Structure 1
């Protein structure tokens, strides 16, 4: 059976960035701005607070794991934060270790934190299908994976990049899998937790070439057309046809980047009856013709993200 979650993660092309050990003591507050970088942390000891892009902070405790697939503003502070406006500068202790807050005395917090990267030019669209914040409690497997990532980033072992890429992939899938039972924000994970919607999502991934209609997808989900449309849009964050179009175009761009067939062959593989129909749809969606996209991809030039699509 096709696994939509695994397919999205594979197309994202996750890779390692960095990981560091942070210890804290007393009151402290730090913030960072990153241009959409995925950020993660696991609390090994103690507790702290995490706020993402201006949202209300959440309390993190020992054993908690948090992953933000696309972070633009991240603020963290001690469980009892310092006065508003206070900013703490981390002190580097060496070998990927930092201390925040009071410089002397025992630490009351220890965590692993870092960021990874997504190599796909379609990362923004694919990330939009994931929850904005994944907060997992009581999953030691995730802490173990993050520990392995941290160790691998510090060591110059053979095949280091290959191992890191696989670890980050597993870390991301494990986090998504663990989030599935929670009140996740709209996105693919939320849709897959709904047993009715999961049938329709898997159908689109298993048969992207089929000329799906909302009525047929609703029938697969055993729902009325109107109930399916509303339920899907609310859970996933885009309409069923938007999701199908976005997924087909993500496949097409991947095939074009890897030069996997002619335009006509790729058109057929993503559900279009002719190369001309596919070219019109691709150009409208991406902003350039598929032939030009393939040429620029082979030349190694950057690509614009997909148009359309909503999500989280």
Structure 2
């Protein structure tokens, strides 16, 4: 059976940038600008707050896990933050990728593992748009273990380190996304997959992306009326059913164009278009470049990487 969540995470090609242990001694606050990079953290001890642009601030306690697939402006602070306008000194390195923030000699009130990764896929933004903007999981023992494994592997210089890290991050992302309950998942694929009726239709779109699906056919797969399916899908995923299908087809098309050396007719057929010209129009409208231009640019980029 096709697993849409696994397909999206695998296509993202996650790899580790860095992972660190951070201890806080209040009051403290640290802010990060909009980076667009994936961020995750797990609280090992104590409590703190996290505030993300566009979302209500969240209180985090020991055992909590947070994943943001694409970081917008964000800040984290002690339970009682510094007064407004009071800046916290920059984190102090303790060695071995451990940092202390806040008071240099005060008692530690929080301890967390923090990590940034990157998505290697050239269409990362397209794929991330299918995921929740924020994942918050409480009592995440398995996720804590995975984050610890990522940290240990990133510190070690063992054979096949990058391969192991990429696989660990894939597992971490999938575990985080599937651990998110329907009530706490923000709009996206995860909430859609948590609805058994919608999940049936989403799986069918992923199993047969080339099929000429209609909303009526997808509603039948979900055992819902057309209007109920359309409204329920839109409310859960944040996209209309056919818009989701188009987004997935374009993600597949980009990946296929990189793998097939730009054989546009073949790619068009595999993602549901009857002709190369029809596919080219849809791809150009959605991506902003023609399929041939996209394939050519990626071949040039790959050649430059090999030449280094």
TM over 0.5: yes
Gaps of 5+ in 2: 303-308
Compare 104-113 and 155-164 and name the one that shifted more.
Answer: 104-113
Q: TM-score, normalised by structure 1?
A: 0.93
Output the CA distance in 2 between the equivalents of 1:127 and 1:224: 29
**What are structure 1's unaligned runs of at least 5 residues?**
302-312
Partner of 2:12: 12
Give 3-state SS (helix, strand or coil) of 1:156's partner: coil
Matches within 5 A, 1:180-259: 180-259=181-260
Counterpart-to-counterpart distance in 2, 1:141 and 1:251: 31
Secondary structure at the counterpart of residue 300 of structure 1: helix
Aligned to 1:29: 29
Q: CA deviation at 1:264?
A: 1.3
Kept in 1: contact 2:38–2:69 (CA 8 A): yes
Secondary structure of the 1:48 match is: strand
In 2, the alpha carbon distance for the partners of 1:205 and 1:32 equals 36
**For 1:161, what is the secondary structure of its paired residue?**
helix
> Contact 2:210–2:270 at 8 Å: present in 1 too?
yes
- Distance of 1:295 and 1:60 partners within structure 2: 46
- Secondary structure, counterpart of 1:79 in structure 2: coil
TM, length-normalised to structure 2: 0.94
Q: What is the CA-CA distance between 1:29 and the residue it aligns to?
A: 0.9
> 1:308 corresponds to which residue?
none
- CA drift of 1:223 comes to 1.0
SS in 1 for 2:280: helix
What's the secondary structure of 2:165's corresponding residue?
helix
Distance 2:34 2:94 in 1: 23
Aligned partners of 1:86, 1:135: CA distance in 2, in Å?
28
Aligned to 2:306: none
Asked if the contact 2:257/2:295 (under 8 Å) is kept, the reply is yes
Distance 1:152 1:192 in 2: 31
Deviations 1:24-75 (A, max 9, x none): 1121111111420111111111111101125331111111111111112110
The runs of at least 4 consecutive aligned structure 1 residues that moved more than 6 Å come to none
| Matched residue, 1:98 | 99
Q: CA deviation at 1:183?
A: 2.4
1:87 aligns with 2:102: no
Q: Is the 8 A contact 2:26 2:81 kept in 1?
A: no
CA apart distance, 1:181: 3.8
Which position in structure 2 is the counterpart of 1:304?
A: none
Distance (whole Å) between structure 2 residues aligned to residue 31 and residue 287 of structure 1: 33
| Kept in 2: contact 1:145–1:167 (CA 8 A) | yes
Contact 1:29 1:86 (8 Å CA) reproduced: no
Match of 1:305 in 2: none
SS in 2 for 1:60: strand
**Aligned residue for 2:109?**
108
Of 31-40 and 2-11, more deviation after overlay is shown by 31-40
Deviation at 1:261, TM superposition (A): 6.9
- Paired residue for 1:124? 125
Aligned to 2:271: 270
